[in-house]
Amino acid sequence: MVSIIDKIINQSDIIIEVVDARAIDFTRNKRIEEKIKRKGKFLFVVAMKVDVVDEKKLKEKLSKLGVPAVYASFKNKKGYREVRKLINIGAYKIKKERNKDKIFVGVIGYTNTGKSSLINLITFSSKTRASSLPAFTKKYQWIKLKKDIMLIDTAGVIEAKNPKELHVLKGNVNPEKVECYDHALELLRYAKRYENNFEKVLDISIEDEERAIEQYALKRKFLLKDGKPDVERAAKEIIRKWNNAELSMFVD
Ligand SMILES: Nc1nc2c(ncn2[C@@H]2O[C@H](COP(=O)(O)OP(=O)(O)O)[C@@H](O)[C@H]2O)c(=O)[nH]1
Ligand SMILES: [Mg+2]
């Protein structure tokens, strides 16, 4: 069976890989990038959530990816011109080389990277496509970007195929589905190494990860029946805040 992501790749001439500006190396998938290139498609990266990272550092990081890359922010409505420009450049090239009159653009990426937000940003749509919907419960459609450029309306989710691919920095740890304590510890361990806003947002010290989760549970009054801090509930809340970009970090 052909997977949905393969379908999108096969049907598109241009593929946008959406990554999270906070953790680029964790949210790009080189295996899929290679596959896209092998198929002779035009690939570029869009790093979303630039509003929560240092723009200068991000620019520097993107210049070293080896793939054309731009950044955008749904929150600040930034970057759509640059994204549309790259689409136009790709479309122009493909049309000239292959004598095509319609160009299809597909969007792929890990969960929570900002795929739906990017589609909304470049189509000027405010309609929120619920990100919690399982991918492709509906048949996807193409939105007209220009008279000869069509954009897919539903992005392809890069699914975690093995436990290693389920990783807190990839945004694919779903607190509604899995135990979060160990993932929260790992996230806090990263936060100790990289520039971040955790102490400010959570209003705790993150010097010791285990203590940090306990402190946060107490602060939020997440308590078990015996009065002890409900650390799993606190961990879930921390993961939620990471996934929806209230927490920031820059993993360089
Ligand atoms: N701060 C900020 N948050 C964003 C941005 N783009 C997406 N998000 C948030 O990241 C989470 C996932 O976004 P979504 O577009 O649903 O990601 P998808 O799962 O890849 O479709 C949501 O909570 C969004 O509000 C952005 O540019 N800036
Ligand atoms: Mg989505």
Element at 90 (helix H, strand E):
helix 80-98
Residue minimizing CA distance to atom 4 of ligand 1? 49
Domains along the chain? Answer: 4-157 (3.40.50.300), 173-243 (no CATH)
Ligand 1 atom 16: the closest Cα is on which residue? 131
CA-nearest of 222, 242, 245 to 233 is 222
Q: Which residue has the tokens 């937000």?
A: 117
Query: For strand 103-109 and strand 14-20, is the pairing parallel, antiparallel, or unpaired?
Result: parallel
CB 119 within 8 A of CB 131: no
State if residue 27 touches ligand 1 by the CB under 6 angstroms criterion: no
| Ligand 1 centroid from CA 217, angstroms | 25
Which of 8, 54, 74 is the pocket-test mutation for ligand 1 (most atoms within 8 Å of CB)? 74
Rounded to a whole number, what is the distance in angstroms from the first to the last CA of the chain?
37
Residues 6+ apart with CB under 8 A from 10: 2, 39
Q: What are the tens digits of pLDDT across the range 38-76?
A: 999 999 999 999 999 999 999 999 999 999 999 999 999
Kindly state the DSSP code that residue 203 receives in the 8-state scheme: T
- What would the pLDDT profile of 9-37 be if each residue is shown by its tens digit? 999 999 999 999 999 999 999 999 999 99
- Please state, in angstroms and as integers, the Cα–Cα distance from residue 184 to each residue in 133, 139, 211, 214, 216, following that order: 24, 35, 12, 11, 12
Please give the pLDDT value at position 19.
98
Cα-to-centroid distance, 96 and ligand 2 (Å): 32
For 21, half-sphere exposure in the C-beta direction (CA atoms, 13 angstrom radius) is 30
pLDDT of residue 17: 98
Q: Is the CB of 52 under 6 A from ligand 1?
A: yes
> pLDDT tens digit string along 180-199?
999 999 999 999 999 999 99
Question: Which of 133, 216, 236 is CA-nearest to residue 176?
Answer: 236
Other C-beta atoms closer than 10 Å to the C-beta of 193 total 9
The residue to which tokens 């360089």 are assigned: 252
Nearest atom within ligand 1 for CA of residue 52: 1
pLDDT digit string, tens, across residues 93-144: 999 999 898 999 999 999 999 999 999 999 987 554 544 334 444 567 889 9
For the Cβ of 131 lying below 6 angstroms from any atom of ligand 1, the answer is yes
Q: Closest Cα to atom 2, ligand 1: which residue?
A: 49
The chain-wide mean pLDDT, for the chain, equals 93
